Structure 1
Amino acid sequence: MSNLAIKEAGPAFFQQYGKAFQEKIFQGLAIDKDWAQQMHEVMKPHYFELKYLQYLCEKYFEYFDNYRCFPTMQLLIQMVAGDLGSEGSDGILRNQIVQFIHRMRGNPHPEDLPYVKDKALDFCKRQAFKEALTTAVELVQSDKFESVVDLMRQAVSVGMPSTIGHDFFEDLEARFQEIQRITTPTGLDFLDEKTILDGGLGRGELGVVVAPTGCGKSHWLVQVGAAALKQGKTVVHYSFELSEVLVGKRYDAHLTSISVNDLIENKERVTEFYEDHEFGNLIIKYYPTRTASVNTIRNHLEKLKFRGHIPSVVIIDYADVMRSTKAYEALRHELMLIYEELRQMAGDFNVPVWTASQSNRAGANADMVGLENMGEAYGKAQVSDFVLGLSRKPEEKDKGYGRLFVAKNRSGRDGMQFHVKIDTARSKFKTMDLQEIADIDPKNIMKEKWNDIQRTKKELDYG
């Protein structure tokens, strides 16, 4: 590759990360143009250890220097073909680039790409700052103190997002481009429909189910976890009250439709069921109540990613009994911080996060549990993207039904209430049809009782 050597040589700083990580760095450059512009300020092509990535990165950045925009992947391929397609060019390099592009196309949206981007940008910014410090020492020795101030100010600012924001009139076209929102369904069609969740809870979003104690919050979290498993997704379920085995049994009951109390004597049926069906992956992790903070969850997720378990959805049962990373005199401030950190974690790991919240006393007897019923800290609702109220009165528990109320929704409509059947033996929620809803209507029940009294009276009168 002597005739195609990169213009600026230097140490391959990315060598410590390995081939797969380095390839994802370049894939991030190709996919995210804004991030590529940040990296352009702090990264050099020679940071890559792999020669074909050095070559592609130099072509990519060189195009930006000339035209102030990055080339599309198709244009970059044409540029490479023009350089390496002639006789006498580096055939090995050309084949390596072709194979790399095939790998990129085979996995166009790696789930761990946000992590790779954050790690790479942070490393490059640190490296740029180290180089600036070295230069600053030389300037101080030469008594060029004003230059030191300018140099350090520049070192701090490099790698920061360069956009000024959305120019309303100049960027009009951007508002009419469809935004791809990758979702995880709840398993209930009326919630996942386009006008409400439009497919389910999206990556980077925080969903909260609010209900009184014993109403079915944990069962709801199993419902959404099982729905994701059926889609082939990787689910990480954290429990702070129920054991890992008990949570696992609830998933067994939901997926196999066998009552949780009958699982032991139906072990063979359960085993055969999983052999005949394909699901995603489920990791269940238990922490004692008020011992795990959001940082604990972050560290565990990092360990899972290191072992190849990339989460598609994270379920936390439940946020109100987590430990705050900062102590406050008032509990509501700690709860507010927990929810803010969960929302930040959802964005950092690019996954939907579902959790639950205990309602206040008023919610126990309410026909409809809303935002005003979120216990201790109303501010929990402010950072949540989707809030679902779950209500079940004692007589409704006995008959196996309840109500879901869409209290808040950043993705679509809210304010709707839905009647649902709740099978706690199988942790399943199902839609009720119109006849079933009519059968439980208090007015219809009273009318039917009145008709029974009238019929009885007639029978006695004519008896």
Structure 2
Amino acid sequence: MTVVAEMEVETPEIKFVDFDESFQERLVALQVRDETFARRTEGLIKPEYFESRADAALVSLAISYYDRYKRPPKDVANVVALLKDAIRRGVIRADMVEEIKDKIRVIFDAGMDIVSCRDFAVDQVGEFARHQAITSAMLVAFDQLEKHNTVKVQEILEKAFKVGPRPNSTPYSYWKEAETRTEVRRAMKMGEIKPRGISTGIPGIDKLLFHKGFGIKELTVFMAGAKKGKSFTIWDFAKLISLQGYNVLGITLEVSTEVLSTRLDASVSDTPIDEIDGSIFAVMEAIRATRDRKLPGELILHEYPSGSFRPMDLQDLIDRYKADGIKFDAIVIDYLDIMAPNRWVQSETENSRTIWVDCRGIAQTEEVAMISATQTNREGHKSVTAKAEHAAEDFNKIRTADLVISINATEEEMAKGEARMFFAASRNQKGEFAIRIKRDLSRGHAIKEVIGFE
């Protein structure tokens, strides 16, 4: 395991001289926008390493923000707010403002690919920092060597050679981070930083969720009996997430992309599914209007035969898109129960368990919100309210998922276009409560609004 060493020694001016202007700009973009990069290179990058004063200024702001909140600014709005505050405090001179604004446009440009180069950039920064640490250590060690203090020489050099990027999983000191957690909570409450979750698109649901939306690095599962609206629900949320500008990857193993896109067309255009063929151009215009007004993120769908798609296939697909510069914020899988394990064994329970665990692991490593569905058993199908114990076949699914919400509707409720969502199990918040929702499946609306609580 590597550590970040701090060498207290005077050294000549150090610059990223081996990195050209374009690569230095990517480093700035990564420091400002990418949480993984900021975490793994913490303590390795210094503003004075950059040749451009605008680059140095933005990196300084981003590092200060990360030191305080343990996350990068990410959004343009946050960076602009930091810049205004720095100008007000006199940290940034007036003659630098336009240059910095131009640089902000560069690092947030849609063509600025930071995902595919992240690992390479981390390695390059690590090598640079290690070289500088060793150079500085040798100056200090030479002084100790003249004093015949070989133990100190060894200690100094060993510390320098350990300098490098942090591993993907970094230690978290519960007691030492108390003030940081408090500051983050205060800033969230005051609206200074956004919650970490991805909004569901339904404010009434967001306020009930621990992350004020779908949890990043988490698996959220909607549970219901056969033909009770599971697929409608997860794809409606996929649409709502995309409409907020997030990139969504959708995997359908049950219905074709043709059927799925028709359902989405109905939802976006607010047209009954069975009336789309009679309103072809009106539907198209409604979709265009929504697309032009909302500027949605990507909503990319892939169809695979049931029982053929494995977690490793999902990882390969994600990597392929990352190579093309597309980073997904959410992944919707319809649904985990009909995926295939990476390796088949005789136990169906073990096959199911590994699918769920492996997919949740992907959500963690790729830092996405993962959303899927699962069926209830026969008892749950007949129950007025499906609970955690009604999960079909394997209770490990409930143990693995971070949040399980069942979808319930009596005949009377269905006739009124209503249903209940029961929070059956949750890792991060209280459960065992229900909300009443309005929906219209005939138009692809799995949830329109929250109308009550139970």
Give the corresponding residue for 1:25. 30
Counterpart selection for 2:266 from 253, 257, 272:
253
Offset at residue 348 of structure 1 (A):
2.9
The answer on whether the counterparts of 1:185 and 1:224 sit within 8 Å (CA) in structure 2 is no
SS for the counterpart of 1:303 is helix
Contact 2:248 2:328 in 1 (8 A): yes
Are 2:241 and 1:236 aligned?
no
- Cα distance, 1:249 vs. partner? 0.5
Q: Once structures 1 and 2 are overlaid, which stretch shifts more, 357-366 or 275-284?
A: 275-284
> CA-to-partner distance for each residue in 1:93-114, whole Å, 9 max, x for gaps?
x98767435645x68x999867
Instruction: Tell whether the 8 Å contact from 1:204 to 1:353 is kept in structure 2 after alignment.
Output: yes
Q: Distance in 2 between matches of 1:202 and 1:367?
A: 28
Asked whether 1:182 is paired with 2:187, we answer: no
What is the Cα deviation at residue 287 of structure 1? 1.4
Residue 245 (structure 2) pairs with residue 201 (structure 1)? no
Matches within 5 A, 1:41-440: 51-52=51-52, 56=56, 99-101=102-104, 103=106, 117-121=118-122, 158-160=164-166, 165-168=172-175, 170-177=176-183, 178=185, 180-192=194-206, 194-197=207-210, 199-277=212-290, 278-279=293-294, 280=296, 281-392=298-409, 400-428=417-445, 429-431=447-449
**Contact 1:322 1:338 survives alignment (8 Å):** yes
Identical-residue share of aligned pairs (%): 19
Q: Quick one: distance in 2 between partners of 1:54 and 1:190?
A: 42
For residues 22 and 32 of structure 1, do their structure 2 counterparts lie closer, same or farther at Cα, with a shift above 3 Å needed?
closer
SS at match of 1:407: strand
Task: Look up the SS of the partner of 2:29 in the other structure.
Answer: helix
Secondary structure of 1:202's counterpart equals coil
Aligned-residue CA RMSD in angstroms?
4.8
Amino acid at match of 1:336: R
Distance in 2 (CA, whole Å) between partners of 1:329 and 1:128 is: 50
Higher-Rg structure is 1
Secondary structure at 2:356 match in 1: helix
Q: Which runs of 5+ in 1 are unaligned?
A: 65-69, 86-90, 131-146, 439-463
- How far 1:307 sits from its partner (Å)? 3.8
Q: Deviations over 1:297-351 (max 9, x none)?
A: 2332333344454433221111111122233332222322222232232233332
Q: Which amino acid aligns with 2:288?
A: E
Structure with the higher helix share, 1 or 2: 1
Alignment match, 2:76:
none
CA distance in 2, matches of 1:348, 1:112: 19
Q: Cα offset for 1:30?
A: 10
SS of 1:231's partner is coil
AA paired with 1:185? S
Distance 1:113 1:218 in 2: 33
Distance 1:330 1:268, change over 3 A: same
- Compared CA separation, residues 34 and 44, structure 1 to 2 (3 A): same
Name the counterpart of 1:446. Answer: none
Q: 2:173 corresponds to which letter in structure 1?
A: H
Pair 1:35 & 2:40 matched: yes
Give the Cα–Cα distance (whole angstroms) in 1 for the partners of residues 269 and 118 of structure 2: 40
Aligned-partner Cα distance in 2 for 1:249–1:29: 35
Deviation at 1:166, TM superposition (A): 2.1
Deviates more, 1:170-179 or 1:221-230: 170-179
Q: Is the 8 A contact 1:39 1:121 kept in 2?
A: no
Report deviation, 1:160: 3.2
SS in 2 for 1:220: helix
- Distance 1:283-1:102 versus aligned 2 partners, 3 A rule: closer
Query: Cα deviation per residue 1:167-202 (whole Å; 9 max; x = unaligned)?
Result: 52x54322312264233333444322x243563213
Superposition deviation, residue 295 in structure 1: 2.6
Quote the Cα distance in structure 2 between the aligned partners of 1:163 and 1:261: 53
Shift of 1:216: 1.2
Q: Aligned pair in 2 of structure 1 residues 155, 266: CA closer, same or farther (>3 Å)?
A: farther
Conservation of the 8 A alpha-carbon contact between 2:201 and 2:237: yes
SS of residue matched to 1:37: coil
Q: What is the deviation of 1:386? A: 1.6
**Structure 1 CA distance for aligned equivalents of residues 420 and 448 of structure 2:** 11
Aligned residues: 391
Deviates more, 1:392-401 or 1:303-312: 392-401
Q: Secondary structure at the match of 1:263?
A: helix
SS of 1:165's equivalent in the other structure is coil
1:401-438 Cα shifts (integer Å, max 9, x gaps): 4332111234544211233444332222345757xx99
CA displacement at 1:246 relative to structure 2: 0.8
Distance 1:341 1:265 in 2: 44
**Structure 1: how far apart are the matches of 2:438 and 2:100?**
55
Q: TM-score, normalised by structure 2?
A: 0.68
Q: Hey, what's the Cα distance between the residues in 1 that align with 2:93 and 2:451?
A: 61
SS at match of 1:201: coil
Preserved contact between residue 181 and residue 203 of structure 1 (Cα < 8 Å): no
The alpha-carbon deviation at position 23 of structure 1 amounts to 3.5
CA contact (8 A) 1:111 1:310 kept: no
Residues 231 and 111 of structure 1: is their aligned pair in 2 closer, same or farther, counting only changes over 3 Å?
Answer: farther
Which amino acid in 1 is paired with 2:367? Answer: N
Report the AA paired with residue 262 of structure 1: E
The whole-number CA distance in structure 2 between the counterparts of 1:112 and 1:416 is 43
How far apart in 1 are the matches of 2:129 and 2:258? 49
Structure 2 unmatched runs, 5+: 1-11, 65-69, 71-81, 132-152, 189-193
Contact 1:207 1:387 in 2 (8 A): yes
1:372 Cα offset (Å): 1.4
